[in-house]
Structure 1
């Protein structure tokens, strides 16, 4: 029997757990919420940790919005850039595959990554990515919530610019069923 939303949510950090509950509450029987249903005024405490991507092509995920905590952590405002351009070369292809899978299946994605920053600091960040569709029902947006863990340390060799998602620690993909409170089901780990 697949795990319930309570089991999946219990493994997430608090910020991501709250965001998953918000997103599930927007399903109302839909295969995924429409972007227009996401209302920032309903989740002001979560906004600093959110990032919104729009798929322009399978290799271009334009960052439409980056929350203030994300910008502060990165040291740059990535709004308007292709998310894939911010990645270390070794991370680009796996992240590109994951982002496309989220929209093509659709499914949700949670990962823990070790990020390196301009300052030389590293941190493990939990990233919850959830699909959104446009008004025509096309899956083309991903909204993510990021939560930095307490596991941080200094990297001895700082880069000239931040290297995001430098090392994948772990990841899972999961699906959901709408209309009944958003029960989750695992879609292939």
Structure 2
């Protein structure tokens, strides 16, 4: 497994590094911070890019409890109060299900880059970060999200910069795409 320092070094966006540092600091001596440990006012410039997925009713009933204003632009609709299946549907559903399931079951942060984060949003290049939260210190009950768009529009992004396209014909490992997760235990 990668150390926290190595995971942080892979984050391409300054706001994601800032949020990761805040998340680590908020955990204190515990493995994972709780939602109550986070004060959004400590990272005010990141608020438009943050989302909070609530998994307390189970993974299949997970929903975006909160979504910053920029997420509306990224996903093409208001996602606050929407279930994961409503936000991530169609050809991108399996990708996001794997990501969120892995964060929830392993309690590890994850990050990546994807073109077309939601159905009908193929023009969006998304840099995403998912950070697990746990009220009881054992079970991940929420996922803190940071989503931001990449540089320029689709016409100006080199093809080799696109790391993932839908629909996937093969599992990510067979396509040479490896999810990046890390957290030293």
Question: What TM-score results when the alignment is normalised by the length of structure 2?
Answer: 0.77
CA distance in 2, matches of 1:60, 1:166: 26
Q: Does 1:27 align with 2:27?
A: yes
Q: Give yes or no for contact 2:75–2:87 (8 Å, CA) kept in 1.
A: no
**1:78 alignment counterpart:** 79
- Helix, strand or coil for the counterpart of 2:153? strand
Q: Report the CA distance shift for 1:144/1:73 in structure 2 as closer, same or farther (over 3 A).
A: same
8 A contact 1:53–1:141 mirrored in 2? yes
Q: Give the gaps of 5 or more residues in structure 1.
A: 155-164, 179-189
User: Deviation at 1:117?
Assistant: 7.7
1:5 matched to 2:12: no
Aligned twin of 1:48 = 48
Unaligned 5+ residue runs, structure 2?
A: 156-163
Bigger mean CA deviation after superposition, 82-91 or 61-70: 82-91
* Residues 111 and 179 in structure 2, CA contact (< 8 A), matched pair in contact too: yes
For 2:62 and 2:119, locate their aligned partners in 1 and report how far apart those are by CA, in whole Å: 23
Relative to the length of structure 1, the TM-score reads: 0.75
Superposition CA RMSD, Å: 2.8
Q: How does 1:131-170 map to 2 (within 5 A)?
A: 131-135=132-136, 137-153=138-154, 167=166
Partner of 1:172: 179
How far off its partner does 1:10 sit?
Answer: 2.8
Instruction: Please give the alpha-carbon distance, in whole angstroms, between the structure 1 residues aligned to 2:115 and 2:142.
Output: 24
Whether the aligned pair in 2 keeps the contact of 1:130 and 1:142 (CA below 8 Å) is yes
Structure 1's consecutive aligned runs of 4 or more residues displaced over 4 angstroms after TM superposition are 116-121, 168-171
Work out whether 1:93 is the aligned partner of 2:117.
Answer: no
Deviation at 1:7, TM superposition (A): 3.4
Is the 8 Å Cα contact of residues 8 and 17 (structure 2) preserved in structure 1?
A: yes
Number of positions where the alignment pairs a residue of Structure 1 with one of Structure 2: 167
Classify 1:72/1:28 alpha carbon distance in 2 versus 1 (closer, same or farther; 3 Å). Answer: same
Please identify which structure carries the higher strand content.
1
